[in-house]
Amino acid sequence: MPSTFFGIETAYSALQADQAALAVTGANIANVNTPGYSRQTVTMQTNDPWEPASAGPASPGPLGTGISVGSINRVVNAFVNQQIYSANSQNGSLSNLTTMANQVQSAFNEPSGTGIGDDMTTFFNAFSTLASDPTSESDRSTVLSAAQAVVDQFHSVSSALSQIAPQVQTQVSADVTQVNQYATQIAQLNGEIRGQVEQGEQPNDLEDQRDELINKLSGLVNVNTTNGVNAGTGQPNGVVDVSIGSFSLVQDTTAASLPSTVSTASANDLGLQNSSGQVVPVTGGEIYGLIKSQTLVAGYQSSLDNLASNLASAVNSIHKTGYGLDGSTGNEFFSASTAGAGQTQVTAANISLSAAVANNPDAIAAAVPITPTPATGEPFASGNGDIATQIAGLATTPVMGNSSLDDYYNNLIGQIGADAQNFTNESDNQTSILQQLQSQQSSASGVSLDEELSNQMMYEQAYQAAANVMSVQNTVIGTIMSTLGSVSTTS
Amino acid sequence: MIRVSSEQVAQNVLYGIQDSYSKLSTAISQSNSGLAIQQPSDNPAGTTKVLDFNNQIADLTQYDNNMSTASGFMSTSSSALTSISNLLQQANQIGLEAANGTNDSTDLQGLASQIGDIITQVAQLGNTQYGSQYVFAGQQTSTIPFAQGAQGDYQYNGGTAASSDSAINITVGQNQSMQINVPGEQAISSLICGSAGPPAVASILGKLQTDIADGDTSAISSANSSQSDLGQLSTAMSAITDANATLGSQITQLTNMQNTNKATITSLTGFASSIEDVDLPTALVSLQSAQTAYQAALESASQTMQNSLLNYLK
């Protein structure tokens, strides 16, 4: 026969369990919009029944002793989480690359009718016009101003390009600092979570925090995660190890420090390099996007430099052989503005008109020398425009391998466009994939208000019913106390 | 049944709105600018083609300008040559009149002085300029080609084939050039410029003038002799007529080439436009459908997101 208060204990266990369930529901509702929060569910379990020592009419079989909260678990889809990390890394690098590619396109400003290509065409056409009348002062001035426009356009595109990825190292260092901070926090959380797991507890919120940190980390750099196991029991110990490729970032409760020096030794092997020269290859995330952007912009810059230098050398080699109206010869047309000691390579940033022709239209060589050289008079005919014609012909002459200057430039623009289109498409795809994955994750882990409200009603009604049971028990005991327990005291 | 969380609905709604809004933005900017390619990434292969077409168009336009300049230059040369032909006709008439043997010495002096006037006029025509360029000076376009020497003789100072500065070539197409000038050395110089020698050779008109003044009728005109003054004059005349005819056919050729060029430019512009520009009806239709999609996304968001179980719990 159970004790008189047996029923009260049972009802009380129900009150406690329902209250706990209401608290979890409340927490879920409170966190409906918290990023990284996984909804928690209460698992109730029936208490062990009370069994009488000996069964008999007064002591029926096992009696239920109520309910208790078995565990409070968070709902996560670990498989989807892994995919999200990977998609996040892709997305981080692609959004960076897309931004870079769009900036590069703005720098070149094609097809607009005002880019380098159009200025080069105007320049060559000015020479073609000069060839028709080499003595015309106005045609000569037009050549100079067209050349100045080409030079200015090279400078402006080059300077715009150089501003796209100027502080990549600074930005990467900032990102690496962030990565190392996350790593330290993850290692710390690993320790706390392992402690609680070993005591049989469910550190749901700490695990959410850690997942959110790994999620942020994956936006910065590509990460892999592995769940740690207890060496003794072979059971999961709650620890998550994080690695970047083969570099172990978080191992148990220790965080390694990711080096921050950008390494672009080979185009296919971008990474970060420590003081002893070892490179951690990076293949995803914002850090990869930054490093890759830098190499791509450097590539475009070098193509542009190549174009400027070939333009200068092609024009110069013809121009040097000709005569200006003032009888000057052997002059270069273009030169490097920062001419220091020795020969300076012409680049897009330093191409300029040579000192000989700048502000001196008559020094522009349009004429070939007369052969044989006349004994008297000028060694050239002022009306000869053959040099000007040859220079004008450079627009369509293959001077860069099999490409003319125009072809080379147009292909460069095509290449930039194709890169930008690639990045934009991939980025759109990744955004859409990430959206899908987040939706799947949210389907499992996200809080549904309707669901929580339903649960709330359910637990509230169960609580009311248990309280009612308690009240009935109270009446029952009251009856015993009032009718049987009233002992008249003798005076 | 797939479980749907509140957050998921919010995410999906936001994604849907952003997606349709970005499509709407693209449609707006395309129909606003009229450009299908606003930056190379919109169509990389198309961009390269458009740039190539634009280069070709610019080149053809330049050739067209060159040809217009050349036409002007050649027309100027041609009309000068025509005038010279007329003057030579006159000289021929004067020569025939002098050769008929009925003139007294006063008449002959008068006729000789007329030839002298013709020499001056031919020299003036030989110094014809197109703009500031002397058209008969070969490449020495800033040098007066026919200047009077100390003895009253004319001398040719322009470019010569011997010094490779006689022909002016201009580019009229890719790797295609055309000589636009008639060098004075060939056509005019023998008429009015003698050579000091040795041996000294008088110019054709100069000799005619001298022979008329001297009344040397056999030197002026002898039957079947191309060595006579009028015979040589006739050879020079036909050379000038030939040069003029060549100029005329070249001018016609240039006009034809310019017409062809213009047609090519028009069709290239059309090709470039078909790649670069949006088809307006299509653009407007996609603008309309993007707008509809955006409105639908907003509408569904406003209707679904307002509802939850809370609306119905009492």
Average pLDDT, chain A: 87
Q: Could you say which of B199, B225, B247 is where a domain stops?
A: B247
- Which class for A337: exposed (0-12), middle (13-18), buried (19 or more C-beta within 10 A)? middle
In a domain, B254, yes or no: no
User: Do B239 and B294 lie in a common domain?
Assistant: no
User: Does B14 share its domain with B85?
Assistant: no
What domain range includes position B126?
81-247
Residues 267-306 of B with CB under 8 A from A: 276
Q: Assess if residue B16 is contained within a domain.
A: yes
Joined tokens for residue B259: 């017409």
User: What is the predicted pLDDT for the residue at A266?
Assistant: 67
Q: Which two tokens stand for residue A391?
A: 């220079």
Q: Name the percent of chain A lying above pLDDT 90.
A: 36
Q: Are residues B231 and B297 in the same domain?
A: no
Q: Look at A347-351, A409-413, A417-421, A428-432 and tell me which has the smallest mean pLDDT.
A: A347-351
Res A454: pLDDT: 92
| pTM of the predicted protein model | 0.80
Q: Nearest residue on chain A to B70, judged by CA atoms?
A: A132
Q: Which residue has the higher pLDDT, A266 or A360?
A: A360
Q: How many domains is chain B built from? A: 2
**Quick one: B99 and B197 in the same domain?**
yes
Check whether residue B113 and residue B166 sit in a common domain: yes
Clarify whether residues B102 and B224 are in a common domain.
yes
Do residue B219 and residue B296 come from a single domain?
no
Chain A interface includes B8 (CB < 8 A): yes
For chain A positions 21-50, those within 8 Å of chain B (CB to CB) are 32-33, 39
Mean pLDDT for B145-159 is 80
Rounded-to-integer distance, Cα A190 and Cα A180, Å: 15
Q: What local confidence, expressed as pLDDT, does residue A378 receive? A: 77
What average pLDDT does range B210-223 have in this prediction? Answer: 82
Q: Give the one of A111, A371, A386 whose C-beta lies nearest to B276's C-beta.
A: A111
Residue A129 sits at the chain B interface (C-beta within 8 Å): yes
User: Is B135 near chain A, with CB under 8 Å?
Assistant: no
CA trace torsion A293, A299, A304, A309 (10° rounding) = 150
Q: Does the residue B273 lie in any domain?
A: no
Q: Does some domain include residue B70?
A: no
Q: State the CB neighbour count (10 A cutoff) for residue B17.
A: 15
For residue B289, the model assigns a pLDDT of 92
DSSP structure class, residue A329: B
Q: Would B257 be classed as within a structural domain?
A: no
pLDDT band at B224 (very low <50, low <70, confident <90, very high): low
- pLDDT, one tens digit per residue, over B293-305 is 999 989 988 887 7
Q: Is the pLDDT of residue A112 over 60?
A: yes
**Residue B262 in domain:** no
Residue A172 sits at the chain B interface (C-beta within 8 Å): no
pLDDT at A340: 54
Quote the ipTM score. 0.80
Report the range of poorest mean pLDDT among A153-162, A372-381, A425-434.
A372-381
Average pLDDT over residues B196-224: 79
Q: Based on the number of CB atoms within 10 Å of its own CB, is A490 exposed (0-12), middle (13-18) or buried (19 or more)?
A: exposed
CATH number of the domain residue B219 falls in: 1.20.1330.10
Give the minimum alpha-carbon distance from B59 to chain A in angstroms, rounded to a whole number: 7
- Least trusted range by pLDDT, from A13-22, A326-335, B305-314: B305-314
> What are the tens digits of pLDDT across the range A335-349?
887 655 456 788 888
A117–B54 CB contact, under 8 Å: yes
pLDDT in tens, A169-198: 888 899 999 999 999 999 999 999 999 988
- Residue B68 to chain A, least CA–CA distance (Å): 10
Q: What per-residue confidence (pLDDT) applies to B306?
A: 76
Proportion of chain B above pLDDT 70, given as a percent? 96
Nearest residue on chain B to A443, alpha-carbon basis = B4
A65: confidence class by pLDDT, cuts 50, 70, 90: confident
B230 with B142, same domain: the answer is yes
Residues B178, B234 within the same domain = yes
pLDDT at B152 over 60: yes
Q: What is the pLDDT of residues B256-288, one digit of tens each?
A: 999 999 999 999 999 988 888 888 888 889 899
In this model, does residue B213 exceed pLDDT 60?
yes
- The CA distance from A201 to A193, in Å, is 9
Tally the C-alpha atoms within 13 A of residue B137's C-alpha that lie toward its C-beta: 25
* Pair (B121, B213) in one structural domain: yes
**Distance from the A377 Cα atom to the nearest Cα atom in chain B, whole angstroms:** 11
pLDDT at A294 over 60: yes
| Residues A431, A439: Cα–Cα separation, whole Å | 12
pLDDT band at A267 (very low <50, low <70, confident <90, very high): low
- The predicted pLDDT at position B150 comes to 64
Give domain status of residue B22, yes or no. Answer: yes
Q: Do B301 and B178 share a structural domain? A: no
Same domain? For B123 and B28 the reply is: no
Q: Kindly state whether residue B69 falls inside one of the protein's structural domains.
A: no
Does pLDDT of B25 surpass 70? Answer: yes
Does position A400 have pLDDT exceeding 90, yes or no? no
Is A472 a residue whose pLDDT tops 60?
yes
